[in-house]
């Protein structure tokens, strides 16, 4: 470790920023967030620095730097473009033992300003020791996407009860185990979900009753999205990483399952036509049983759990059993696959509404409101419709849809193996012989725009807009694929 990271208390301290440019404004803003009193020393104010002074947010000394300006100063940052002035600032601070940072000149810095993830009162700092500020910023952005602002609420809650925990729970090890159970259990999740009052009441009750064992179990109903790992929400990642048990479907990307803790138990409950690892009732009971054992159970579903995912059925069992739960919605297959295929599901000139429809057969029959679907101008999105695709196309045409209506099948949407087959209702079934699930069917005039708006994995440049062309230029079974394409859970028969 080349440098010791230290968090400095600047509450009410006087700090100096030498310079009036955009960099000076950013540094001054950072110091103000730390509740310091900040003065700009510069002959010229530019842009944001001028506004901050005009608004009375910062004090301004219209002058070049003088040593006497360091009286009672706790910290100095120089952003001046004048090299001679910058060196005078540095030398004067060294003589007085004042921490100084000359922007972009590591040799004239006694401290470095790191990249900051602000989740006040939690603060996370990232530094490369001035070797690569760009890399530090990229790492900071990654952390910002992984650590939600709700961590600030949780930190505030824990601070409120810290002294009480010391009085109620003897022993450092016992308190550590207690806080870990609180943070990773329902109380911590309540606080992060914005339910601070309920979380505080539950935490107070645990301390009053000297309850130090882990919380009772909880179920997280998580939408895993259509396949691409980076479409997983921050909430979903947070809950998944906290789970003791992961119950997942066939349509969940292995890369997403792997985001769970290494020691978490994984239970596969996937379904294919005629083959179920567990039936739906058994899955619901499994969630209840594991939660009653005190486990945090992540129920991972492809797409969104409430769109053809049977999330409602599982939630009924969880509520009936009086189990705590949270729901993390996911990017549904229709939204994800359409976007990656360049298809706006609604468009002012083509479709004012969209319908999500299941192509799943019930008792061997495809029961759909054919007349209504054929005569409307909605965009139609069929989930689980690949096995019934010829019947869907012919049914729409037989009941009034034009045979020339654009129709698109998106295979393994949002993944490296995505393939887009563009055709019409009249000839689509002739183009999909080699397509394998998961696949999504989109019907309507907006599907025609897929040719114009193609963007993902080279489709725009390489595709001749021929049915069956693989948009990433490799093919549907490329061994270099990053993830396996997934859509929403496959066993549902509701029309939306």
Q: What is the pLDDT of residue 144?
A: 82
pLDDT at 469 over 80: no
How many residues can be counted in the chain? Answer: 496
Q: Comparing 1 with 445, which gets the higher pLDDT?
A: 445
- Rounded (10°) CA dihedral 94, 97, 101, 102: -20
Annotation-wise, does 384 bind a ligand?
yes
Pairwise CA distance, residues 101 & 111, whole Å: 6
Identify the band that residue 224 occupies on the pLDDT scale cut at 50, 70 and 90. Answer: very high
Active-site residue, selected from the candidate residues 215, 244, 271, 378: 271
pLDDT at 475 over 60: no
pLDDT tens digits for range 352-382: 999 999 987 877 788 899 999 999 999 999 9
Is 271 among the catalytic positions?
A: yes
Beta strands in 9-91 (DSSP E): 14-18, 37-41, 59-61, 75-78
Annotation-wise, does 333 bind a ligand?
yes
Q: Cα separations (Å) of 402 from 109, 243, 255?
A: 72, 50, 41
Active-site residue, selected from the candidate residues 249, 378, 459, 472: 249
Pairwise CA distance, residues 489 & 287, whole Å: 17
Q: What is the pLDDT of residue 34?
A: 93
Annotation-wise, does 307 bind a ligand?
yes
Annotation-wise, does 332 bind a ligand?
yes
CB 220 within 8 A of CB 239: yes
pLDDT tens digits for range 180-190: 888 877 888 88
Pairwise CA distance, residues 310 & 328, whole Å: 14
Identify the band that residue 150 occupies on the pLDDT scale cut at 50, 70 and 90. Answer: confident
Pairwise CA distance, residues 418 & 481, whole Å: 10
Q: What is the pLDDT of residue 463?
A: 38
CB 317 within 8 A of CB 239: no
Q: What is the pLDDT of residue 68?
A: 95
The set of residues, in sequence order, having a beta carbon less than 8 Å from that of 274 and lying 6+ positions away, is: none
Q: Comparing 443 with 153, which gets the higher pLDDT?
A: 443
pLDDT tens digits for range 101-136: 999 898 999 998 888 888 888 899 998 887 888 898
CA-based torsion, 191, 196, 197, 201: positive or negative: positive
The DSSP element (H or E) to which 49 belongs, if any, is helix 47-54
Q: What is the pLDDT of residue 363?
A: 75
Stretch 55-64: mean pLDDT, rounded?
93
Annotation-wise, does 404 bind a ligand?
no
Of 348, 341, 378, the closest CA to residue 495 belongs to 378
Q: What is the pLDDT of residue 470?
A: 35
Annotation-wise, does 115 bind a ligand?
no
Annotation-wise, does 413 bind a ligand?
yes
Annotation-wise, does 98 bind a ligand?
no
Stretch 327-344: mean pLDDT, rounded?
95
CB 213 within 8 A of CB 171: no
Question: Which of helix, strand or coil describes residue 45?
Answer: coil
Annotation-wise, does 444 bind a ligand?
no
CB 125 within 8 A of CB 139: no
Q: What is the pLDDT of residue 473?
A: 32
């Amino acid at each position: 470790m080349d440098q010791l990271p230290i968090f400095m208390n600047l509450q009410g301290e006087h700090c100096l920023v030498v310079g009036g440019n955009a960099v000076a404004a950013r540094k001054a803003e950072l110091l103000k967030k730390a509740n310091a009193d900040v003065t700009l020393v510069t002959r010229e104010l530019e842009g944001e620095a001028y506004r901050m002074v005009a608004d009375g947010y910062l004090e301004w000394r219209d002058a070049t730097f003088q040593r006497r300006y360091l009286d009672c100063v706790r910290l100095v940052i120089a952003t001046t473009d004048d090299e001679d002035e910058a060196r005078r600032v540095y030398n004067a601070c060294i003589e007085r033992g004042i921490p100084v940072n000359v922007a972009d000149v590591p040799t004239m810095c006694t401290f470095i300003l790191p990249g900051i993830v602000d989740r006040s009162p939690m603060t996370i700092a990232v530094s490369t020791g001035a070797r690569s500020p760009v890399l530090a910023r990229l790492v900071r952005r990654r952390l910002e996407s992984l650590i939600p602002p709700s961590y600030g609420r949780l930190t505030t809650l824990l601070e409120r009860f810290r002294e009480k925990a010391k009085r109620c729970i003897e022993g450092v090890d016992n308190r550590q185990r207690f806080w870990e159970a609180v943070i990773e259990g329902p109380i911590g999740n309540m606080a992060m979900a914005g339910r601070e009052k309920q979380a505080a009441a539950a935490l107070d009750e645990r301390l009053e009753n000297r309850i130090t064992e882990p919380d009772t179990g909880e179920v997280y109903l998580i939408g895993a999205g259509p396949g691409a790992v980076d479409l997983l929400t921050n909430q979903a990642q947070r809950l998944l990483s906290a789970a003791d048990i992961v119950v997942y479907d066939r349509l969940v990307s292995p890369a997403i399952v792997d985001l769970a803790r290494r020691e978490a138990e994984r239970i596969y409950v996937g379904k294919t036509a005629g083959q179920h690892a567990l039936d739906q009732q058994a899955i619901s009971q499994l969630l209840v049983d594991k939660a009653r054992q005190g486990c945090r159970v992540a129920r991972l579903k492809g797409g969104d759990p409430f769109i053809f995912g049977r999330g409602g059925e599982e939630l009924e069992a969880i509520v009936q059993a009086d189990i705590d739960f949270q729901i993390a919605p996911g990017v549904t297959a229709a939204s994800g696959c359409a976007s990656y295929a360049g298809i706006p599901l609604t468009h002012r000139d083509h479709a004012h509404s969209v319908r999500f429809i299941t192509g799943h057969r019930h008792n061997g029959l495809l029961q759909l409101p054919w007349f209504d679907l054929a005569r409307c101008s909605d965009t139609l999105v069929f989930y689980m419709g690949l096995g019934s695709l010829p019947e869907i196309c012919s049914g729409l045409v037989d009941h009034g849809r034009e045979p020339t209506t654009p129709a698109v099948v998106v295979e393994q949407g949002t993944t490296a193996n995505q393939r887009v087959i563009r055709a019409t209702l009249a000839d689509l079934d002739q183009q999909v012989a080699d397509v394998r699930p998961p696949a999504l069917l989109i019907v309507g005039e907006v599907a025609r725009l897929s040719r114009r708006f193609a963007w993902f994995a080279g489709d725009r440049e390489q595709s001749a807009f021929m049915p069956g062309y693989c948009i990433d230029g490799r093919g549907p079974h490329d061994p270099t694929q990053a993830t396996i394409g997934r859509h929403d859970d496959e066993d549902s028969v509701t029309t939306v």
